[in-house]
Structure 1
């Protein structure tokens, strides 16, 4: 099974990208039956960073080197992402959380804080639910554990709300449905994923210029492959199982921070108190969904204040 992008030896390879993050090194480990790539840098308390769709470990580059001045920062390509393996199964967030738990064991770490964005926030939440003793603190940025509320998402957008920019009061994440379809997205998007990326960044970011041309080309290179589209869509296709698993979880007792952009702040305000007992939700309302690119200083301030 191929696990690397089409440009695995070029400018977008792990070996080249790591040069953009002084002090970080690339590593690969087979845990829970899947081979994962991760980058490791800094020293201090462990902070595991989990990215979202449609990005990779490199999405943390606007904040990683600063975080590494205070923490040991571990940037992970989750199952199905980047140069991590893309098996045919195991994309429910409970299994993906087990991937991360076993990765920590492989690294000799008994406990860590987690920072997850988008799909990564879902995996980080599942980690906290399933491995509370291994979770110091939990931070989710624009993405928490799948819940029953997802079943209430509208098939059609609210009248007048579906414009060039995502409406923060009436968000319409149409890709939640599109990514449920098996087989067709690979046929439509393979080799032309940049069209989806450019539309998506324009739609969910307030300042899309903050997503650089290099970053856009990198993510297009990764997700242009049919197997990458298939694997990343599987994160969405597992939501039914994730919601069923959530019914069995007790509320989290460790401190939890939600960082919400203008499109997710209100959602986090509603969802996180039902997930956890110690919750703080911060809104960065002058940012779109890709907060690390748009408002890295604000994200760093929130993380520093929360982790201490």
Structure 2
């Protein structure tokens, strides 16, 4: 990782209201980057694709008034290491478990969005003794239903055609297509697909994400989250119900889906719908997300 990447994360952390700092830790065979600030019980925040820890910038100051916030670039993301393996969500949950122990926390609150939500769910299932509460934002853990996503959508099908799931299964070609500054096109496409208010994620924010994903190494690592899906599905089959209190946050039709699914995956589940948003609810409706997280984690 370049010195400039280190400097950028430090500057971004310092730009937030409150005393936040950019830190690193070597755990479970990978170097993890995280931004931390605040005081109180630990609250770990895990981002989704195509974002980084910066996804949580709008909610971190409010959460830090009550918690020790730890926003982590998961394995392969942003300032964190990009090894050749270890991208199954069970192992990535172990990354977070070892990070928590490294920071002196035996038990944590944890929240995740997108890929980060899958890691948070895997954390709660594999490390129940270390889980105080868990919040799942807009993405349930992958299961066998992913095998049934159509390659070609039928006329009138509702919802986005998830072509990118198949695209990320292809090896080597995405690095060639998306490197050298072209990743910004994919970022703009994904945000355009799922933002009610396009201005919620500014051009500056998109540049932050584009820089994080634009190198061939970063593209290869981010693909690895998707290429581990088959192992993730097999791991999910062995999971029982999450015993820690679990919150599901989502919008619209996916809220309705999570409202049916999450209660089958946990013993103490509550749901809250975030209005006027789609996938990127943390950045588009930060006040509502912060309010629900504060109410849930207590």
How far apart in 2 are the matches of 1:221 and 1:202?
Answer: 18
User: Is this contact kept in 1: 2:51–2:209, CA < 8 A?
Assistant: yes
How far apart in 2 are the matches of 1:32 and 1:62?
Answer: 30
Question: Aligned runs of 1:1-308 on 2, under 5 Å?
Answer: 3-4=1-2, 7-8=4-5, 13-21=8-16, 22-161=18-157, 169-191=158-180, 192-262=182-252, 264-308=254-298
Aligned-partner SS, 1:264: helix
**Per-residue deviation, 1:131:** 0.1
Gaps of 5+ in 2: none
Corresponding pairs, count: 296
**Per-residue deviation, 1:263:** 5.7
Deviates more, 1:208-217 or 1:14-23: 14-23
User: Is this contact kept in 1: 2:200–2:284, CA < 8 A?
Assistant: yes
**Per-residue deviation, 1:37:** 0.6
CA RMSD of the aligned region, Å?
A: 1.5
How far apart in 2 are the matches of 1:143 and 1:89?
Answer: 23
How far apart in 1 are the matches of 2:220 and 2:63?
Answer: 32
Q: Normalising to structure 1: TM-score of the pair?
A: 0.92
Q: Normalising to structure 2: TM-score of the pair?
A: 0.95
How far apart in 2 are the matches of 1:263 and 1:278?
Answer: 22
How far apart in 1 are the matches of 2:244 and 2:291?
Answer: 20
**Per-residue deviation, 1:250:** 1.2
How far apart in 2 are the matches of 1:157 and 1:206?
Answer: 23
**Per-residue deviation, 1:52:** 0.7
CA-to-aligned-CA distance 1:229-264 (integer Å, 9 cap, x gap): 110110011011011011111111111111013363
How far apart in 2 are the matches of 1:282 and 1:201?
Answer: 23
Deviates more, 1:171-180 or 1:30-39: 171-180
User: Is this contact kept in 1: 2:6–2:79, CA < 8 A?
Assistant: no
